[in-house]
Copies of this chain bind each other. A is one copy, B any other.
Amino acid sequence: MKKTLLACTAFLFAITCGCISAQDITYHNAKKFTLIGKAFETGGHYHRVDTAKYSAMRLTVKRIFTNTAGLAVVFKTNSSVIHARWKNKHVFSANNMTPIGHSGLDLYVKDGKEWVLAGIGRPSIKGTESSWKLAGPLPVGEREYLLYLPLYNELTDLEIGIDKDAVIESLPNPFRKKIVVYGSSITQGASASRPGMAYTSRISRNTGLYLINLGLSGNGKMEPEVADMLSEIEGVDAFVLDCIANPTPEEISQRTAYMVKKIRSTYPDAPIIFVQRMPDSPSVLTPEDRKTVDRKNRNLEAEFDKLRAEGIKNLHMIRYDSSKFPDNEGTTDGIHPNDVGFSYLIDIIQPKLKKLVR
C-alpha cells in the first residue's frame, strides 16, 4: 500500500513537474552531434567565436561571444521522449528576458518541409544546472530535430536523453548558404520569448538560409579587432551589419569604412547589408533619443555613400520603414523587441536577404 502510494506520488510528480523521467533514459553528450551557428569550427565547443585566437578583441566582446545565441544541435532519433540535462556558467539575470530565452532550450522538429516547435527546456532560475523533459510521449517514428541553445548564457555541458533502446544520430546542417549577422542585443535575441525566436533563427526556418548570429549585447561597436575577425570567417555568402544600436554616431563615422574594407579584403564580392537603427521608444516622449538615432542613421548613410563613391560594390542598406511598424507594442522594455517587434523586423530584413542571397 505504502509502496503503491509512493510510486503513484512519483508518477504524479513526474507528469506535473516534467522534470523527472518515469522511464529509463540514456543520456548522450550533445558534443557528438552537429552543432550549427558557429562562426568558426575552432575554439570552445559552445563558443560562437574562437576567443583565444582573436584575443585582441575587448574582454566583454570575448565574453559575450561565449554565449550560445543562435547555436543549435541537429540530430535525428526514434525516441518516444526527449530529455535534456544542461549546465550554464551563469545564473539567470535579465529582467527583460524569460529564463527560457536567456538560459533555456528550444526544440524544433521537422514536420514535412517545416520546422515546428516540439518543446522547450525550462532552466533553473536560481542555479546553473537544469534538467527537463523537452517532448513526449511522441508517436512512433524517427524524426529530425533542431535544439536551440540559450541566447544569453555560456553553456558548459549538454546531454540529450532518449529511451534506452532508441537510436540517436547526427544530421548535417539543414540550412544552406552562410550569412553572418553582426549586431547588437537585438541580434543576440533580447527579448525573444525562447531561443528559437531570435530573429536570425526565425529567418533561417522561414527561408532555409543559414544565418550565423554574432549579436553582442550592448557591444556591437564595430571595433577594428572585430572587423578583423569577421573578415576571416570562411565560406560566407553575405554579411549583415545590424549593429547600429551600439556605437555612438561618432564611432559609426570612424569605424564603418574600416569594417567594410576589411571584409572586402577577403570577400571582394559578397553582399554587405547594413540595417538602419530602428526606433525604439515613442518619439513623442524621447526627442533626445530620436535625435541620436537620426544622427546614427545619417552618419551611416554618409559612410555608405562615400564607400560607394570609392567604387565598393554590392553594398546595401535596409532602411527603417515606418509602414512595417504598425503600432508601438513591439518591445519588451522600450528598446528590445518582443516577438511582435521581431515579426516587424523580419518583415523588413527577410525579403531583402532572400533577394540578395539566392
List residues 198-245 of chain A with CB under 8 A from any CB of chain B: 202
A333 adjacent to B95 (CB under 8 Å): no
Q: Are A328 and B98 in contact (CB under 8 A)?
A: no
Q: Give me the 6 closest cross-chain CB pairs, A-B, nearest first.
A: A193-B338, A95-B99, A193-B332, A339-B340, A116-B328, A95-B122
Question: 11 additional contacts, CB 8 Å, given A98-B191, A120-B333?
Answer: A96-B99, A111-B282, A111-B284, A117-B282, A117-B334, A118-B282, A120-B332, A138-B285, A194-B332, A194-B333, A340-B343
A287, CB-defined interface residue at 8 Å: yes
In the complex, A118→B285 CA distance in Å?
7
Min CB gap A354→B, angstroms: 17
How many chain copies does the complex carry?
Answer: 2
Q: Is A275 an interface residue (CB 8 A)?
A: no
Nearest chain B residue, comparing its CB with the CB of A126: B126
Least CB separation from A109: chain B residue:
B285
A92 within 8 A of B: yes
Distance (Å) between the CB of A345 and the closest chain B CB?
A: 12
Q: Chain A 320-358 against B: per-residue CB contact (8 Å), 1 yes, 0 no?
A: 000000001101111000111001000000000000000
A155 on the B face (CB < 8 A): no
| Chain A at the B interface: SS class | loop
Residue A125, interface by CB 8 Å = yes
Q: Is B191 a contact partner of A193 (Cβ separation < 8 A)? A: yes
B193 A117 Cβ-Cβ under 8 A: no
Which one of B95, B109, B117, B287 lies within 8 Å of A329 (CB-CB)? B117
CA distance in complex: A284, B125 (Å): 30
Let me know if A165 is at the binding interface, CB within 8 A.
no
Q: A287 — which chain B residues lie within 8 A by C-beta?
A: 139
CB-CB under 8 A from A288, the residues of chain B are 137
Q: Is A150 at the interface (CB under 8 A from chain B)?
A: no
Chain B residues contacting A122 (CB-CB under 8 Å) are: 95-96, 333
A-B contact pairs, 27 of them (CB 8 A): A92-B125, A94-B99, A95-B99, A95-B104, A95-B122, A95-B125, A96-B98, A98-B332, A100-B332, A111-B282, A111-B284, A114-B328, A116-B282, A117-B281, A117-B329, A119-B281, A119-B285, A120-B334, A122-B333, A135-B285, A139-B284, A139-B287, A193-B193, A193-B338, A338-B338, A340-B340, A340-B343
